[in-house]
Amino acid sequence: MPAAQLWSTERPVLYRMRTTVKADNKVIDQTLVNFGIRKIEFCADRGFLLNGKVVKLKGIANHESHAGVGVAIPDRLHIWRLEQMKKMGANAYRCAAKPHSPVIYHAADRMGILVLDEFREFGDNFLVKVHEKETFDHLTYQRIHVKRNRNHPSIILWGLTNEQGQVQNKPVGAEMTRKLMEVVNELDGTRLTTAAVNHGFSEDGICSAVDVIGFNYHSFEYDRVHALFPDKPKIGTESSAELSTRGFYERTRIRGGEGIPEGPDVFGDVTNGWLTAYSENRTGWGELSHVAWKAVAERPWMAGYFIWTGMDYKGEPTPFAQPKQPSISSYFGIMDICGFPKDVYWYYKSWWTDEPVIHVFPHWNWQGREGETIKVWVHSNCETVELFLNGKSLGRKTMEINSYLEWDVEYAPGKLEARGVTKDGKEISAAVETTDVPAGVALAPDRTELVADGQDLAWVGVSVIDDKGRVVPTADNMVRFSVTGPGIILGVGNGNPASHEPDKASQRSAFHGYCMVLVQTTREAGEIVLKAESEGLAPVSVTITSE
């Protein structure tokens, strides 16, 4: 193909190959396979190159878990989730610890998203952690994995294993790695391999064998390991592990051991199992977002990294745990389990995109706390930002690259506004206002035209609003849903990591002003009308067309 167009993140050109099997000149089998043509390289001093151009991997790691459906995620919802991550500026996706749904790889091919595809096991046994007597006789699982996915142009790296602490720093770990690499090279041979190592990085362990050294956290080890293996490329396979709850800003200090395991202090509500949405909480092994990203951005030889995680997921409610707290889902996400952005979303959007960005938080509903100091943060890529309260300047500050700004503000109701100046002199602003009491409900479907195939769906954002249409950030009203026409309510959610309300239901309480409902088509065409009601609030409906 001498005139082939190259596949890239900006222009993911795909071709299709038809393979036909004939016997006696009669077609007995045929298959179609999409593929792309591109050149991928990992370089020890320049990082990752796509078609000869350095591309910093701005990645998210994800589990397959979503409010309303659990791990049984419909194809369209998988695509919607990838769309939200790409809007944030992510260009890469790690299939955390196992192969993911086929639709994710196909969508990544079409959307120009680079994929780190990862095995679940490190041997023939289906174990969480391996041991030194692990068998490597057949590796059937890994062979199936590579054969299934090897034609996807989006996949740039094979992840052989994740955090195998018992062997990762021993020669036997290196032996296991080389055995897996033989299988990958036999069946593919066009991509390099990595392994997610979470401590040690020894000279004779997994790092000595794998093509690309993978760091799970430990950014303070980057320089030492780079000096130890100067000729090997390096990547952050799992980074940050910042903890937060969307829309929650109370800053009560919780010390390690006081209702949570020993570890760093965090800020939040230990009884309800909520953590502040400021970027100030992390695990004992993790780092805050601005610390983790700076460590990669400032080192050209680091190919990039994958945030843990893009979205919250059921399970692993670190640092909380039952029965002391009611928590049932994680706090790691840049978005909550519904897909509503947390404030840190705008940190990444500021530094991962070229779009002018400015975002101010927290909300400004602090009735009864007049005169108290409220910590105000701004995420932005503006060169300077000035903060105003009810039109009065609270000072202008200069933004450090890959950082954020903060002010201490005495609370007074009204309008808190951040005004920024971009590097090209453009002025942009963002504001939060003190709202009135809840007066109604608003519905915001991601699409209003669906396919009547019994699978397509609309993600519908639900918000509780005041009489001026502003979202009330403290609202927790119960919202009831009903559908008429050829559609069903597939599931509901609200992003509360400690909510025990059922996901399979026709109602959900708002959490900090928001909840979500998934509306799925049937196999009949027609108009689907979704109605939302809440006691004492004005009802609302939206029409979705199914064809």
Active site (catalytic) residues: 163, 238
* Tokens matching residue 410: 């005495």
The label of the residue with tokens 């108009």 reads: 527
DSSP state of 221: G
* Tokens matching residue 510: 């708002």
Nearest Cα residue to 105 out of 177, 156, 30, 38 = 156
| Residue 389 three-state SS | strand
Pairing of strands 192-197, 212-216: parallel
| Residue 151 three-state SS | coil
Rounded distance, CA 211 to CA 177, Å?
10
Rounded distance, CA 104 to CA 90, Å?
15
Q: Per this entry, what is the length of the chain? A: 547
Rounded distance, CA 238 to CA 232, Å?
18
What percentage of the chain's residues is helix, strand, coil (to nearest 5)?
A: 15, 35, 50
The DSSP-derived string for 395-443 is EEEEPPTT--EEEEEE--SSEEEEEEE-TTS-EEEEEEE---S--EEEE
Task: Round to the nearest angstrom and report the end-to-end CA distance of the chain.
Answer: 39
Return the amino acid letter for 299: R
Q: Which H helix or E strand runs over 159?
A: strand 155-162
Our measurement of the distance from residue 441's CA atom to the centroid of its chain's CA atoms, rounded to an integer in Å, reads 27
Within 5-139, where are the H helices? 75-88, 102-111
Q: Which H helix or E strand runs over 295?
A: helix 289-297
Rounded distance, CA 124 to CA 446, Å?
43
CA-only gyration radius of the chain, Å: 25
> Is residue 404 a contact partner of residue 347, using CB atoms and an 8 Å limit?
yes
Rounded distance, CA 376 to CA 362, Å?
6
